[in-house]
Amino acid sequence: MALLEVQGITKVFGHGHLEVRALDGVSLTVEAGELVALMGPSGSGKTTLLLCISLILEPTSGTVVFDGQTIYRDGATWLDVRRLRREKIGFVFQTANLIPFLTARENVLFPLTLVGTAPKVAAARVMELLEYMEISARADYLPALLSGGEQQRVAIARALANRPQLILADEPTASLDTARGKKVMALLKRIAREHRTAVVTVTHDPRMIEGFDVIYHLKDGRLENSPEST
């Protein structure tokens, strides 16, 4: 059974002559532990698709099935989407988007507090993740004192905090140089392999997705091709 099934997702913004069809009947499937890349030019609908998958943005029509459960069908949402996001989905953004007034440690701790993890367990988990990301020496630094690459590693640690089944990454290497970008992508691949966490990442840089399992190309809100394996 696929972890994520998206069937015929359409997203329309505006009405009448101002109508913009950002997604037009997009369907895709993501298996557990699979590395999926969404590629396409600017405005092709990549970020909108990520938003619709996580139900941050409600699709206009279509179906989203997550872990065997229909979470959205034709205008109706079937569960507490915030709970779904904090328990089962991790996010990595273009920029690290760390909360500036929390230290690296607290940023990673934050999602754990949201699900009520016991303090001792949470503290151990945070250190485990920071060590995994090789950033534990800077655990008590505020984001402003970390480099871009370090911030992005903290952001990935935060995304992994609640052991999500799916990581959605929106151009996670856009603000990094090629070397650091490749390191971040290598990290995501390692996570997918070691934790069987599916990773769906949006990118327009083909160098960053070497070794990905499936690549989708989007153009004008439509998938241009059948899934392509690398």
Partner 1 sequence: MDLAVRDLKLHKGRFLATVLGVGLLFTIVLTMNGVYRGNVFEGTALITHTGPDLWVVERDRGGPFNEQSSLPEILADSVAAVPGVAQASPFIYYPVERSIKGVSRRFSIIGYEVFGGLGGPRELTRGRPITQAHYEMVAHEKLGVRMGEKVPLGLHTFTVVGLTREAVATDGEPLVYLSLADAQEFLFQRDNEEVRNQRERQRRSLAAQGVSPAQVERLLPHLAPDTHIINAVLVRLEPGADRVQVATHIRDWLYLSVFTTQEEVELVIRGRLARMSAQLLFFRTLLLLVSVVIISLVIYTFTMEKIRSIAVMKLIGAPNWTVVRMILEESLLMTVSSFLIGLGLIYSIVDLFPRKILLLPGDTMFTFLVALVGGFLASVLGVWQVLRTPPGLALGGQ
Q: Which residues bind partner 1 (CB under 8 A)?
A: 47-48, 50-51, 54, 56-57, 82-87, 90-91, 93-94, 97, 99-102, 106, 109-111, 113-114, 142, 158, 170
Residue number with CB closer to partner 1 (58 or 128): 58
* Sheet strands (E) in the chain: 4-13, 20-30, 35-39, 61-66, 69-73, 76-77, 89-92, 166-170, 198-203, 214-219, 222-223
Q: Closest distance between partner 1 and the C-beta of residue 78, in Å?
A: 17
Q: Closest distance between partner 1 and the C-beta of residue 106, in Å?
A: 6
Instruction: Name residue, tokens 């871009």.
Output: 148
Q: Using CA atoms, how far apart are residues 98 and 216, in angstroms rounded to an integer?
A: 29
Residue number with CB closer to partner 1 (96 or 192): 96
Residue number with CB closer to partner 1 (23 or 213): 23
Residue number with CB closer to partner 1 (200 or 213): 200
Q: Using CA atoms, how far apart are residues 77 and 44, in angstroms rounded to an integer?
A: 25
Residues 35, 212 contacting (CB under 8 angstroms):
yes
Q: Closest distance between partner 1 and the C-beta of residue 59, in Å?
A: 13
- Which 3 state secondary structure label does DSSP give 230? coil
Q: Closest distance between partner 1 and the C-beta of residue 226, in Å?
A: 26
